[in-house]
Amino acid sequence: MQLLKSDDCVTLMGRGEVSKEELIEEAIRQGEIDVDDRERFEKAEFCANKWMKAVPREGYSTYYYESREGVRGAFKATCLQYVW
């Protein structure tokens, strides 16, 4: 479970295919988001299951980008995103 922030959006990403509600519940349980953030994520319109890959990139501890099945190191993730 990771909370990723960029200049224009916030993405909550969890490994595996889960529902929006399951993703939010697990993020709260793990302390990635506060209970107070629940409503903001429940209202988020973008929720997708994607293949993702983590790579090193200058300026980031880890950078995630959309990948495809069969790529070494790629994993299935559920991503929930809202714009600032």
pLDDT digits (tens, 9 = 90+) for 22-70: 999 999 999 999 999 999 999 987 888 999 999 888 877 788 889 999 9
Residue whose C-alpha is closest to residue 1's, from 79, 60, 81: 79
Q: Strand 2-5 and strand 60-66: pairing?
A: unpaired
What average pLDDT does this structure show over 2-11? Answer: 88
Can you give the pTM of this predicted structure?
0.82
Alpha helices for the chain (secondary structure H): 20-30, 38-42
More confident residue, 56 or 73: 73
Type of residue found at 58: E
Q: What distance in Å separates the CA atoms of residue 29 and residue 82, rounded to the nearest whole number?
A: 20
List the domain range (segments joined by +) for residue 15: 2-83
Q: Which pLDDT band, with edges at 50, 70 and 90, does 83 fall under?
A: confident
Residue 76 has pLDDT above 90, yes or no: yes
Please state the domain count of the chain: 1
Q: Which residue has the tokens 């200049």?
A: 7
Give 76's strand partners: 51
Which residue pairs, CB below 8 angstroms and at least 24 apart, start in 22-26?
23/47, 23/78, 23/80, 24/80, 26/1
